[in-house]
Amino acid sequence: METKSFECPRCDGVLKEGKLHAIDAHLCPQCKGILVPQRDLRRLLDKMAEEMSKTLSLDDTIEAIPDRGGGVSCPLCGQTMDNYGYMGCNQVKIDSCFRCSAVWLDAQELGIMACLYARTKHHQETAAKAAEARSAPIVDVAIVTQAAERAVLQGWSVGRLL
């Protein structure tokens, strides 16, 4: 049985099927971009963030990655992918296909996303510990942040559906 190959939306190279932290992905060996199912992105970020939080300072400045531009076509269906800032910020702009629920990440974008994700988790844990120490009820920052993350991962943007 022959596997269908897909073309990289950036460099026209052939995407290779593979796994990244046990998550199915299509990788471009030329430009190092990656196509992942949107439903698996959070699991992938969880795994990467856990590793990063052990070795990186989560308080260091995270520099923005220059966006390579939107308007790329989904390798799976050919539809133009939406281009938006991950977690509502412009440090990383990702491309997402609403039809296929696939996310295209250019080289380095996944790493910066994992850093941002690890930092957010770290701040959630710190806030929860501080609230617990004060023994005062506060709005659960973790729940609000997780809801916002889920919305972004599912393609929602502030004020509209992408």
**What are the tens digits of pLDDT across the range 116-141?**
888 888 777 888 888 777 765 556 66
Cα 86 from Cα 91, distance rounded (Å): 8
Strands (E), 2-159: 6-7, 14-20, 23-27, 34-37, 82-85, 93-97, 102-105, 156-157
DSSP code at position 87 = G
Residue 156 confidence (pLDDT): 55
Using DSSP bridges, classify how beta strands 34-37 and 82-85 pair: parallel, antiparallel or unpaired.
unpaired
122-to-43, 129, 132, 157, 158 alpha-carbon distances in Å: 17, 11, 15, 23, 24
Cα 157 from Cα 64, distance rounded (Å): 19
Which amino acid, residue 70? G
**What are the tens digits of pLDDT across the range 23-67?**
999 999 999 999 999 999 999 999 998 887 777 776 777 777 888
Residue 158 confidence (pLDDT): 47
Residue 38 confidence (pLDDT): 93
**What are the tens digits of pLDDT across the range 88-116?**
777 889 999 999 999 999 988 998 888 88
Pairwise pLDDT comparison (151 vs 67), residue with the higher score: 67
Cα 7 from Cα 154, distance rounded (Å): 24
Angle between helices 38-55 and 109-134 (to 10 degrees): 70
